[in-house]
Structure 1
Amino acid sequence: MAELANKYPENVTGTFYVDDQCIDCDLCRETAPANFTRNDDGGHSYVYKQPENDAEAALCKEAMEGCPVEAIGSNGAE
């Protein structure tokens, strides 16, 4: 389970975030490309834009549920 205390600093403030368990598998970026991107230097994903509608929120939730290492959380600050 993702830990809010371990989220990457690049994550924008909001519900969804990626923490330091990320293995850079690309699943979240493929599932919700409007919200997740890659830190090329660090080799991990992060949330660069919080969902702005129900469709984006559903894709972020799908990415979170599919994350093989549970590095995506949804208990970030609103």
Structure 2
Amino acid sequence: MAEKSQSWKENKPGKMFVDQSCIACDACVLTAPKNFSMHEEDGHAFVSRQPETPEEEALCKEAMEGCPVEAIGNDGE
């Protein structure tokens, strides 16, 4: 389960976040490319834009559920 205290500083403020257990598999970026990006230098994903529409919410949820190391969290803020 993702830990908010371990989230990457690149995450945009809001309820969704990626923590430091990310293994850079790219699954979230492929699932929700409007909301997740890959840090080119450090090799980890982060939330580049918080979901704004029901469609984006659904894709972010799908990305969170599909993360192989459970690095994506939703703290409901």
Q: TM bucket by the smaller chain? A: over 0.9
Determine helix, strand or coil for the equivalent of 1:23.
coil
How do 1:46-57 residues align onto structure 2 when only pairs under 5 Å count? 46-57=46-57
How do 1:1-78 residues align onto structure 2 when only pairs under 5 Å count? 1-75=1-75, 78=77
Aligned residue identity for 2:46: Y
Partners of 2:42 and 2:9 in 1: CA distance:
11
Deviation at 1:73, TM superposition (A): 0.1
Runs of 4+ aligned structure 1 residues displaced above 4 Å come to none
Deviation at 1:55, TM superposition (A): 0.2
Query: Any idea what the Cα deviations from partners look like across 1:15-43, whole Å, max 9, x if unmatched?
Result: 10000000000000000000000101110
- TM-score for both structures, normalised by structure 1: 0.96
Contiguous gaps of at least 5 residues in structure 2 = none
| Aligned alpha-carbon RMSD (Å) | 0.8
User: Share of identical aligned residues, percent?
Assistant: 56
Query: Any idea what the Cα deviations from partners look like across 1:17-75, whole Å, max 9, x if unmatched?
Result: 00000000000000000000010111000001000100000000000000000000001
- TM-score for both structures, normalised by structure 2: 0.97
Q: How many residue pairs end up in the alignment?
A: 77
Partners of 1:46 and 1:29 in 2: CA distance:
9
